[in-house]
Amino acid sequence: MPNASGPGTPPSTAPTTPTSPTGTNDFIDCEKGNVDEEKEEEEVVEELNEKDSPNIPSKHRAEDGRPKLVQRIDDHPCGYPQLAAFVNSDENFLIARKYGFLRSRVLLYRQDELSVLERDLIKLDADDEKNRGFALTSRKRDDETDNDPLYSRKILIQKIDDKLKEYDGLVSRIKTYLSLRAPTSRNAKTFIDWIEDHKPLSPEESTFIQHKDDFVALSDGQECGWLDGMVEDGLSWCLPVKLMKKFFTSEEQTKKTDDDHLHLYSRRRIDIVVRLVLVLTTVGLLVGPSAVLYFVNGQSALKICLIMVFTLLFAAALSVCTKAKRHEMLAATATYAAVLVVFLGNFNSSTLTS
């Protein structure tokens, strides 16, 4: 179609708005649409966070408004909340009292109750033996002919059964607590010192820290818990605090507190150093005797003494650094000594041959 402005008029160069095939301006700017969608998503997330956790204070929220994944000790109010955050910051601080005295009192009390019921049953059997001998040979006839329901054997047996259930449950609970280990002196000291320094509880409710001998560790202790503490103390003594935090503190542990007196170290990283120490000790106990015996020539008495010394060192390391049972320790020590003796015999034979 010819231009309406005539043949001499140039075509219009004004920008035109794209239209849809239907003739309406319903096309959307992609970039603007993406920005609007992102804003809507952020608003929805914030709204959901507020609905899910409306009572969480702002200090417990991250910059995007969501609850913090790492709960800081210092963000909790002083009192039980802050103490709970401290205990939760490291599994070594999961320390509680076992109340051994109270458990013993309850055990003795329940035991005496059963003793009384036992005497009542024996007395009832003795009386029935004289007057109702058939009652001891037939439970059915005993129940049918019993004229005193308050002191019947059936009721007495039921009382004994109920008390035994209580007694068995108590014994099982005590046995469970006895299987828990006491915390290391290092962890117990850190636990007590933190409570004494920060005073999260009233003096009356803080007296439990005075019963250090009644503490139990709720977390599973390492096989060489004392060695972990020794390695950690040695590293702290050799390395500055900054290097210790850099190499042995995870990012999450760093965020948990700003307390300069509380240092949280990664148990996994400390365990790597402990395993390295154990590996070096094991290699030294295996290779060291061979090297020493190799350079000792013609002194049989000295060689025997060296074998005895290294065998004692091996047995001591096995006893301290592992949970081996007695028969396992005996077998391992005998095998170790036999290896040294065989090595010594082969070395002497090769020396004589040469």
∠ at Cα 329 (187, 296), nearest 5°? Answer: 105
**Within-domain flag for 106:** yes
Total number of domains in the chain:
2
Closest alpha carbon to 245 in 262, 231, 228, 230: 262
Cα(318)–Cα(310) distance, rounded to whole angstroms? 12
Average of per-residue pLDDT across 160-178: 94
**Within-domain flag for 64:** no
Cα(8)–Cα(3) distance, rounded to whole angstroms? 10
pLDDT at 141 over 50: yes
Least confident range from 16-25, 61-70, 129-138: namely 16-25
Going from the C-alpha of 45 to that of each of 34, 35, 64, the distances in angstroms are: 16, 15, 9
**Within-domain flag for 258:** no
**Within-domain flag for 35:** no
**Within-domain flag for 222:** no
Paired residues of 97 in beta bridges: 215
Q: Dump pLDDT digits (tens) for 7-34.
A: 444 444 444 444 444 444 444 444 444 4
Last residue of one domain, picked from the residues 162, 178, 194: 178
**Within-domain flag for 21:** no
Q: Which long-range contacts (CB under 8 A, 24 or more apart) does 174-179 make?
A: 174/103, 174/107, 177/98, 177/100, 177/103, 177/216
Last residue of one domain, picked from the residues 178, 193, 223: 178
pTM score, whole prediction: 0.60
**Within-domain flag for 292:** yes
| Four-point Cα dihedral 34, 39, 43, 45, nearest 10 | 50
Domain residue limits at 142: 99-178
**Within-domain flag for 111:** yes
Q: Dump pLDDT digits (tens) for 82-98.
A: 999 999 888 888 999 99
